[in-house]
Structure 1
Amino acid sequence: MLVIGLTGGIGSGKSSAARIFAALGAAVIDTDEIAHRLTAKGTPTLTAIIEEFGTSYQLPDGNLDRASLRKRVFSDQAAKAKLEALLHPLIKQQVIAEMKGAQGPYLVLVIPLFFETGAYFDLVNRRLVVDCDENQQIARTMSRSKLSAEEVRSIMAHQTPRAERIKQADDILSNMGNHADLEKHAQELHQHYLTLALQQQS
């Protein structure tokens, strides 16, 4: 199966793009969704995180305090490395398991930290970057979260620079405009991927 690694900076529109590809019939696996499932209330992974980082990162209802943990790892490189060492192998293991049952003409694998971790290079055939300018990233992230512009910039500083993402991409999905523009660009890529998928099968 043709596997497309979909990535992009925070606020670039990865989730919107993934939903469009899913609506067009592509199989979609989202590593963020897997991470949320693995760290849900009562899971062994959540227990391991609390043991590593302390009970202050667990909410009164038993769920993970994701906002507090995010702030911690973006301000503490050692903590970030520990969390990634704990989570990333489990996420990749689950991705591989789900890929075996994926149904569709091609598979879109959504990996926000694709270039940062390098952990999925071996699983994808093409690298698709959802792209917009940095001011749009900040504005979109602030509109959907409680993060300040400064906090968004801090997260962006830990991500692969936009120019480097574009340089390493096989395909670019522009999200500079509105949702209709994104859909149009995604549909064009979808046709391209259908052709590539058929070529790969023959």
Structure 2
Amino acid sequence: MSGFVVALTGGIASGKSAVERRFEAHGIHAYDADVAARAVVEPGSPALAEVARVFGAGALDRDGRLDRAAMRQRVFDDPSARTSLEGILHPRIRARLRAAAAADTGPYCILSIPLLVENRAHYDWVNRVLVVDASEATRIARLVRRDGIDEALARKMIAAQARREDRLAIADDVVVNEGDEGALDAEVEALDRRYRALGSPAGRAPTTAR
């Protein structure tokens, strides 16, 4: 691992992407688990073939790609289906993220991992955890507006993830994102300075498992 690694997490619709973009504006590379998740199921990939074998043809759309809407509904309705899908995808996602972090040459890098709490043991090699926090009411409103879903599904999606309290319990740093995104600028700027200092040879601390 060549650089200092910050794991960025938060509940669905908490605003992780907005925070991620601001780190990138400071010249920091951010490697997103959601992007990795799409990459590992590209047509022709072993992961997509395994998904089709486990879940049947209904897991794919007419173009032979993963039918994300259908699978999202399926895993939120059936916890065992979610466990099976994660068993296929998550090891491959983790491998891509670790390879990206190892190759990064910046003062530090960001790994955006929505399900960090649920998979914390697999990321005990990161140096620091940054949690983006927002209330459940705020996140429900964002989900309904962003995804065009009803409130019932939004609540189900939130309930399927780790509790807010569990995310905050593993945080080294917290960014509260309840209002206008512009309010994030100063917080990310301060965190960027902190992480650059921590990532320097003088500031580097041994990685510890949580």
TM-score bracket, normalised by the shorter chain, equals: over 0.9
SS across alignment from 2:123:
coil
Could you say which residue in structure 2 is the equivalent of 1:31? 33
Are 1:167 and 2:169 matched, yes or no?
yes
Question: Does 2:3 align with 1:4?
Answer: no
Verify the 8 A CA contact 2:143 2:154 in the aligned structure 1. Answer: yes
Structure 1's unaligned 5+ residue stretches are: none
Look up the match of 2:92: 90
Comparing 171-180 and 37-46, the one that deviates more: 37-46
8 Å CA contact 1:5, 1:109 repeated in 2: yes
SS of 2:14's partner is coil
Match of 2:20 in 1: 18
State the partner residue of 2:68.
66
The answer as to whether partners of 1:25 and 1:105 remain within 8 angstroms in 2 is no
TM-score (ref. length: structure 1): 0.94
Q: Give 1:22's aligned amino acid.
A: E
Q: 52, 55, 61: which one pairs with 1:53? A: 55
Distance 2:93 2:55 in 1: 19
- Taking every aligned residue pair, what percent have the same amino acid on both sides? 38
Partners of 1:38 and 1:62 in 2: CA distance: 14
Q: CA RMSD in A?
A: 1.4
Give 4+ residue runs of structure 1 displaced > 3 Å after superposition: none
Contact preservation (8 Å) 2:29, 2:109? yes
Residue-by-residue CA offset, 1:148-192 (whole Å, 9 max, x unaligned): 211111111111111221122110011112111012211111111
Between 1:24-33 and 1:36-45, the stretch displaced more is 36-45
Q: Write out per-residue CA displacement over residues 72-126 of structure 1, whole angstroms, 9 at most, x where no aligned residue.
A: 1111111111111111111111112222221311011110000012244322111
SS of residue in 1 equivalent to 2:13: coil
| CA distance in structure 1 between the aligned counterparts of 2:18 and 2:8, rounded to whole angstroms | 11
User: Do the aligned partners of 2:134 and 2:177 also contact (CA within 8 Å) in 1?
Assistant: yes
**Worse-matched range after superposition: 112-121 or 87-96:** 112-121
TM-score normalised by length of structure 2? 0.91
